[in-house]
Copies of this chain bind each other. A is one copy, B any other.
Amino acid sequence: MNDVINLLKSHRSIRKYMQKPVEEDKVKAIIEAAQSASTSSFIQAYTIIRVEDREKRKKIAKLAGEQSYVEECPLFLVFCADLNRHKLACKMNKVEMVEGYTESFITATVDAALAAQNAMVAAESMGLGGVYIGGIRNNPDEVSRLLNIPVNAYPLFGMCLGYPDENPGTKPRLPMDLVLKVDEYTIEGDEERLRAYDEIVKEYYLERTDGKREDTWTGMMAKMMSKVIRPHMKGFLEKQGFRMK
């Protein structure tokens, strides 16, 4: 279609980086692009923490589940959903902020995600590659302490960026007719579609691992989704002021 579409469609996670730093003008362009993303009613409810301190990087790498690239990548950003500037805006205008509703949790979380995706696209457009680090939610409390993240904010995910030192292929996505519905949601026929997709994913892993890995998508999802993942999130978010009223 065009170069942008091709760029978007060529996304794959990059976890190995050349030792070359990311130029400061590129860092600036990445953040500006992030800030240009859509934002719910202009609230811009996120903060990005750039972690340069090597000790903190090392600790976060460990807290995120031994993800060494968090330590090694040239640029590491932590995206936080954040309502502190709104609290301050309320104070400056002598009103009280209403806190703890699920809706403002959603708005801030989505705002942070939209900004992050723009950051990723901007980075990739300049020859960089990266990966989201949802693993910081393994130990969000420790990560928050380490980065001094206050109440009314929480670390949603990290993002490693740098010049790629690997060139993995793109991962086959779900067939479009599973994801795109017209006029109403239907699940009819999805099981057959998933079986066909399982074959594609199996092929992908077999080829990528010289026949060693034989995973299917439904198999991986069944394994993952039949376990409790990060049950501490509710308690952590409450502590941060996101009480899901």
Q: Residues of A with Cβ closer than 8 Å to B? A: 1-5, 7-11, 13, 25-26, 28-29, 31-33, 35-38, 40-44, 46-53, 56, 80, 83-90, 92-93, 95-98, 101-104, 106-107, 109-110, 113-114, 116-118, 120-122, 125-126, 131-132, 134, 137, 147-150, 153, 156-157, 170-171, 173-174, 176, 178-187, 190-191, 194-195, 217-231, 233-234, 237, 244-245
A-B contact list, 7 entries, CB within 8 Å: A9-B33, A31-B180, A89-B194, A89-B218, A107-B134, A113-B113, A234-B244
Taking a contact as CB atoms under 8 Å apart, the answer to whether B178 and A101 are in contact is no
CA distance A126 to B8 in the complex (A): 13
Residues of the B chain whose Cβ atoms lie less than 8 Å from the Cβ of A227: 98
CA distance A234 to B1 in the complex (A): 41
Residue in B92, B150, B180 whose beta carbon sits within 8 Å of that of A194 in the complex: B92
Taking a contact as CB atoms under 8 Å apart, the answer to whether B233 and A102 are in contact is yes
CA distance A137 to B107 in the complex (A): 11
Taking a contact as CB atoms under 8 Å apart, the answer to whether B31 and A121 are in contact is no
CA distance A229 to B98 in the complex (A): 9
Taking a contact as CB atoms under 8 Å apart, the answer to whether A47 and B137 are in contact is no
Taking a contact as CB atoms under 8 Å apart, the answer to whether B92 and A40 are in contact is no
Residues of the B chain whose Cβ atoms lie less than 8 Å from the Cβ of A50: 180-183
With A41-B134, A44-B179, A97-B225 given, name 15 new contacts (CB 8 A). Answer: A9-B32, A36-B170, A36-B173, A41-B224, A48-B179, A85-B194, A85-B221, A86-B221, A92-B218, A95-B226, A98-B228, A102-B244, A103-B229, A109-B110, A113-B114
| A95-B222, A137-B106 known; A5-B33 Cβ under 8 A | yes
